[in-house]
Chains A and B, each alone.
Chain A
Amino acid sequence: QVQLQESGPGLVKPSQTLSLTCTVSGDSMNSGSYYWSWVRQPAGKGLEWIGRIYISGTTSYNPSLKSRVTISVDTSKNQFSLNLSSVTAADTAVYYCATYDYVWTNAFEIWGQGAMVTVSS
């Protein structure tokens, strides 16, 4: 069973770049029918899809964040990463990595526990 764990700085200064990594355990990223995804939840608000990557490197991003988001994958390390540039207080949120099964369920099946990131000087 695949497990996900987010890691990265919990505090980022305004205008800087937020960087998070999701480590995949329990199976190789090369097996399975997954898109590797990022979702966030600002305090007091709902879930927001950020984007996803396939192991080939092809990506898809939320149009509202597209100009600031980069998602990358390193299958040799069984990790994928999120970079969000020019952050503001509005980017303060819990960030989740998740698997999206595009064959069997077409849903976000497995989620990490989440990483709280605060944008503040």
Chain B
Amino acid sequence: QSALTQPASVSGSPGQSITISCTGTSSDVGAYIYVSWYRHHPGKAPKLMLYDAIKRPSGVSDRFSGSKSDNTASLTISGLQAEDEADYYCASYTRSSTWVFGGGTKLTVL
């Protein structure tokens, strides 16, 4: 299985909005709503930010939102803050009953 495709890096200024895309195939992202997003600060445990493509776990800021269309899912962060600077990964369940992650996107807050 191939990793989902994410941009290597994105950047934005404080207060701005950014969107990170996650492109898969009809066998993973396009097949299920089971797409999730994780924030990963180096040296720390990844943190779940969105699940079922659009839902936020309790405690996650409503500045984080998601969408999914066909084989592509997206994570949008509005009102960028310095603490948002991290690596972000998407993940999807697949038709093979396995899971696949994206290659990761480094978010820089300018």
Mark A residues whose CB is within 8 Å of B. Answer: 37, 39, 45-49, 52, 60-64, 96, 98, 100, 105-109, 111-114
Contacts and interface: CB of A to CB of B under 8 A. Distances in A.
B101 A49 contact: yes
A52 B6 CA distance: 24
Given A49-B101, A106-B34, A106-B51, A63 B91 contact: no
Interface residues of B, number: 28
A100 B89 CA distance: 16
A62 to B, nearest CB: 6
A64 B100 CA distance: 11
A9 B101 CA distance: 26
Interface string B96-110: 111111111000000
A102 to B, nearest CB: 9
Most buried by B among A37, A96, A98, A108: A108
B45 A112 contact: yes
B8 to A, nearest CB: 10
Contact of B100 (A49, A107, A111, A114): A49
Contacts of A105: 36, 48, 51-52, 55, 57
Contacts of B101: 39, 46-49
B96 A63 contact: yes
